[in-house]
Structure 1
């Protein structure tokens, strides 16, 4: 058994349940649950919420290299709780996991970190904002300037980021429903980051510029027990419109999303407003997954093909999933990111 898998079985609460993808459909007994009508507050909600079971700080970026090639990168910090609340030292019930990745047109590099809370190895501070695990760090002002660093066996990246738009609340003012049964999360994004920096790859360093998108979400039971995974899109269109859309797969599929105008005005997309159809599947570096999609939002005149930059962007992490940059063609052009979980 891999050492990381053994550690996960010992420490990571999702590993004990098969309800929903990664146990995210497990009943939330003892933990706080999202409630409709609760107002999000900033900067406090940039920080951790230890009374909720699961939380993440999630950044993806689509990049133009000075070498003329397209790139994508991911940086994620997950927090999961064995029980509600926080304590100092090794008695902390909080578990932290970090993922970092770089995708090129012909390769994908990823790495993972695991940490117990309470010992300073990983955590999040709300103001000034700082999220870290070991030497990986995302810090700064989500409405101003930020910095991002991470390293793995095959890559190092350093980015400077500047917000060019507001935070976006998904669903009902940040209350995002995930199933017909009513499971939900608190969910907001910063989709308006302009970035510049350097990727150090096996073939050498490359200067990059582009755009980044931060997703923030926390809950205690974000899925129903029959939902096996999701397909999630974050798209930046050429007219500066942003689109967040997802399909949760279960006994009955559930869709949701947000249409984000260039000024940041957000319009929720209710269940059924989004149509996602796999077009082409591939099995590179992992199980077969859809690497080309037909995505439609008829109410907004969106009818596009979404295609992976590199079909083998499989995250070989403790909970494996596909995550990589995509291009958009059709009624609109653009770029973005696609995440697919629960495929075997």
Structure 2
């Protein structure tokens, strides 16, 4: 067995039991000894841009809704996941209990290109530093640049077997704390995460695809989230929407599916002011397909009625843990663009 295959097996062994009966990604399993989110804990920056190794799981998740110089819609994803084998730092190097997994993708209206990377332990192959901010695995990176503070300016790069991209992102608004000052409840049982975003990136760069290179511009959304048990055992997956509306607002809406679906979200003004949303504020209706590649998203109290349609219905992430993720077009009472992630569905 070669070293890379052994590394992948070690990494997978460290990940929760994805898709089994205790809940999608094992996120409903017991995690004794790990830290739990605390509503009294204030988020502090730049410290919280970095890793929280006393928590079980964590991610740095950027999605970019793009328009090419050719007038076509594109999407790009850059994601780094951290999972801990143990709540204690019991070793160094290859013995360190941290496991890293990363996903990158580029979506066109006709194709969806996916790559995956793994790293194990504290050998420098993957990691995150809060100041200056840098997140990396191998030669994939998301780094602060140009003397930027925190996450204000980033350079993002990744590549797979048949694609690559290099993007520059500049924040044009503030960080956004979801839920109660960054304490985001995910179910009736009180499971929660610490969750904040930077949804105000203006992006430019280049995608390299089998048919050639294309220059792109658009908007990006960075999610930061960490927890140890964000779901309960009855919850099987989620539907997550992040939308850049053409009137300057941003909208995050999510539904955790289970015996009792749990909805939450944030309506973000162009000035960064946040209105926290709960199940009474949100109506979600899936359209065709499994998973659904079209949705109706309504906020009746805000007179928002949105039709959300996938740019490419076949945006399946054919990774070790399969899910659906891709750019969407938004029409209705307001137009816009965004991203949709759907987990816990059977995928062909």
Equivalent residue of 2:292, what SS?
strand
Distance change (3 Å), C-alpha of 1:293 and 1:16: closer
1:1-344 equivalence runs, <5 A: 3=5, 6-14=9-17, 18-86=21-89, 87-140=91-144, 141-281=149-289, 288-344=290-346
C-alpha displacement of 1:17: 6.2
Tell whether the 8 Å contact from 2:45 to 2:150 is kept in structure 1 after alignment: no
CA contact (8 A) 1:30 1:84 kept: yes
Q: Distance in 2 between matches of 1:159 and 1:220?
A: 31
Cα distance in 2 between the residues matched to 1:266 and 1:176: 13
Asked if structure 1 preserves the Cα contact closer than 8 Å seen for 2:19 and 2:236, the reply is no
8 Å contact from structure 1 (residues 13, 82) kept in 2: no
What's the offset of the Cα at 1:142? Answer: 4.4
Q: C-alpha displacement at 1:18, in angstroms?
A: 4.1
Q: Any stretches of 5+ residues in structure 1 without a counterpart?
A: 282-287
Q: Deviations over 1:283-320 (max 9, x none)?
A: xxxxx310000111111111111000000000001110
Give SS of 1:48's match: coil
How far does residue 85 in structure 1 lie from its aligned partner after superposition?
3.6
Q: Distance in 2 between matches of 1:62 and 1:17?
A: 32
SS at structure 1 position matched to 2:230: coil
CA displacement, residues 141-200 of structure 1 (integer Å, 9 cap, x when unaligned): 444211000000111100111110000000000000000000000000000011111100
In 2, are the aligned partners of 1:9 and 1:15 still within 8 Å (CA)? no
Deviations 1:35-62 (A, max 9, x none): 1121000000000000000000000001
- Output the CA distance in 2 between the equivalents of 1:90 and 1:18: 31
Unaligned runs of 5+ in 2: none
Say if 1:161 and 1:196, in contact at 8 Å, map to a contact too: yes
* CA displacement at 1:109 relative to structure 2: 0.4
Task: After superposing the two structures, state which structure 1 stretch, 122-131 or 270-279, moved more.
Answer: 270-279
- Which piece of structure 1 moves more, 213-222 or 19-28? 19-28
Matches of 1:15 and 1:320 in 2, distance apart? 9
Number of residue equivalences = 338
TM-score (normalizing by structure 2)? 0.94
TM-score (norm 1): 0.95
Distance of 2:78 and 2:34 partners within structure 1:
27
Q: Given that residues 198 and 207 in structure 1 are in contact (C-alpha distance below 8 angstroms), is that contact kept between their aligned partners in structure 2?
A: yes
Structure 2 CA distance for partners of 1:83 and 1:173, relative to 1, 3 Å: same
